[in-house]
Structure 1
């Protein structure tokens, strides 16, 4: 076998230590830095996994759709119809409320012969209420309630027997919400 030719590197003295950058220890890479980077990487992966799971389950919406705006339903204002006869019952201990309300209706255009005011048998009715009988009378009852300053409106035929004519009728029961006098308590 032929001998290789000699070059200048054959004369370099041989040392017993390691030579070259690939054999040197990595500077600054100790165990704590590796542990810290491992912890940060694990934390990022866990938070990312939770977020993806919540998105996939539908608990988080990335791009929510705009909800269509719902127009408010119009409040029925009713109509003031002076052709109705009105029965006003004072169901409070305060005297004269039925007469005051009758005067209010007369000043609003009702004829004196179709508005009746009297005291009720009860004196502890809680809220002023306008009663109407037929479904066709609801708008007139709402209009009358608005004219009186916001009374409740209910459909009932309890007061239908008070009308002896065939004329359309509304009944107003004045409650304690319009009274300034406290209700009477029975003596023991």
Structure 2
């Protein structure tokens, strides 16, 4: 075997301590600490991702109330009571029995029993009774239903569209705190 030529590093004394210490394991790093920090970072990233997704899907409102802004009705839209629509009624108040009252009112107006259904909503702090519709062609029926209920608001939103399990058009009535006494007051009914 051939010997390498002599250079200036051959004169360095060998008693200088550890060689390659920059590659040694950090004495303060523990495997459990690294695992816990990794889990904490992953949890923060997952929570941030879910929050951003909910904001982008308009499921969470950052700078406003929990109700969407009212929709301006298009000119020439005529309110009509149309019992061919399915109607979902959600009670967003702490008072019980409001769904049954609204359901009876609709059944008296010609809706069939299988087309009117409802339950208590997830929230109990919805301020104003509102009729939600999905498509523009549903606006006239939503306005008619709102008039039938005594002056409810009307808004276009696809938030409740996933609750429709058929191809038939559906309107959603969310009963608000303005109906806790049963009927709206004169100040809540819209001017003609």
TM range (shorter): 0.5 to 0.7
Cα distance in 2 for partners of 1:76, 1:149 equals: 18
Secondary structure, aligned partner of 1:109: coil
Structure 1 segments (4+ residues) deviating >2 Å: 74-77
Deviation at 1:177, TM superposition (A): 0.3
**5 Å matches for 1:75-90?**
77-90=78-91
> 1:132 & 1:81 partners in 2: Cα distance?
13
Q: Which has the larger radius of gyration?
A: 1
**1:76-96 superposed Cα distances (whole Å, 9 cap, x missing partner):** 550011000000000000000
Please report how far the alpha carbon of residue 117 of structure 1 lies from its aligned counterpart in structure 2 after TM superposition: 1.7
Counterparts in 2 of 1:18-33, with a 5 A limit?
Answer: none
1:145 lines up with 2:146 in the alignment: yes
**1:38-187, aligned counterparts within 5 Å?**
77-180=78-181
Cα RMSD after superposing both structures: 1.6
In 1: Cα distance, 2:78 partner to 2:152 partner: 12
Q: Which runs of 5+ in 1 are unaligned?
A: 1-73, 182-188
CA distance in 2, matches of 1:150, 1:77: 15
